[in-house]
Structure 1
Amino acid sequence: MTGLQTFDFEGDPVRVEFDGDDPLFNGRDCCRCLSIEKPENAFARIPADEKGARSTGTPGGEQMMVWLREPGLYRLIFESRKAEAERFKRWVFHDVLPSIRRTGAYGREDLPLADLAQLSRICDTVRRTHGIAAARKIWADRGGPELPVGAGERPVPQPSSDHQARLIPIVADFLADCCEAEATARVQARPLYQAFCRWAAITGQPTMTENMFGRTMVLIGHERKQSNSNHWLGLRLKTEVMRKLERSGEA
């Protein structure tokens, strides 16, 4: 599939180009719809293989702009806590992607094995960072085979107080800034908590006890393995971020 398509979200245009059969979403268009005031900061948190720069025609001439692949778009949507994010997410899932599929690029019946493997990796990352419901939604909307009822689900704990609920976005921001989701990765619980404390001191966020940090991680949906030393599964600390935190701690 080739060419540029423009979709309308509540009066704002969202440009979509194609890399073969893969849609690329204009990053600034998406940030505008999500009321993200600093797109560059949002783009910096998206892995390189989930975005790319392309020369794009504008009223002022050709400019290099960031375009997001589907995993990058999902990451941008699910990391936003603005009210617009839920409406934009529904619009992407219910209007944009179905419209693209009707052109033949994403047939549910003939999803190639390579695409299915990529979809599995995307959904596993989303499950670890945003929960099973978000992962199942992406699986269904991208044409994954029907799953048995309850597949992959486990009971989701709920915050026991308003204070605990307020800690969830703080820990989620730390994870977005300092960690990477990877199915086979694991990180020791104590170094992760120590990294959180350094990050909180630098960013001015309130800290919390190690026990409360662990409870909040569970509320977000992360799984802990307890053996000789406790580990959080599916996460690793970003090396470059840890170096900055360590240098800040030595200053």
Structure 2
Amino acid sequence: MIWDQLTSNQIAGLDKGIPVLLPVSATEQHGAHLPLATDRIIGEHFLYTLNNRINPNMLILPSVGIGCSDHHMDFEGTLTLSHHTFSLVAKEIIESVLHHGFYKIILFNSHGGNQGIAQVILEELGYKYRHAHFVSVTWWVLVREALMNISETGVGGTGHACELETSVIEFAAGHLVDKDQIRKGANEPTFKWAEGDMLHGSHATSYRTMKAATSNGIFGDPTKASLQKGKRITESVVKAMEALITDLLIMDKK
């Protein structure tokens, strides 16, 4: 179910034990071939596909479509919120949901720059509202093993506007992909212990702006993207989220 497509009376009549999902994403550059809304489109695509399968066992809130994107601000069109502002927005939306009696909340993230503050939000709300249950999910982390079997580009191939994101957009909103502009990322090397991407974690982290990491705004290799991969990625994420939501639905019955 979609939160803002229901009436107030319909919300009031729902089982308060169903999970409520808050999609959080970003509005930022994704190279010359993908739209600024890429992260939001991807997150909503996964959740709306899931909703079509398991409605009425979940509620999807309106997306927070601007995230923490300071590191992309060297590229035109990027919008950003500070960590403090993003945290306040997300927490106050969630607290509104708690006020209405729901108590199983999933923060569903589709932007790398939101991961750190999402964990902080989880810990702050979890401590404050002991009766509730909070989960933070970043889609590529949730299904990393499955994505390793789908990806062909290896280490450094799946970072930003890459094989994975381009494949999902081709499947979800193919008309928004400018295929004539697809290029390999201009990945710039860093310390060996800091090298990593969506699927291959680094041993330690070192801050770099996206412009320092890649001059063309692409980190990875979107030339290996395909609609078929997008379909497989979607199926993997939706299947994993369905299992996660099922666990939350039955947790009170154990």
The structure showing larger relative contact order (alpha-carbon pairs under 8 Å, at least 6 residues apart) is: 2
Bigger radius of gyration, 1 or 2?
1
Higher strand share: 1
Q: Say yes or no: TM over 0.5.
A: no
TM-score, scaled relative to structure 2: 0.36
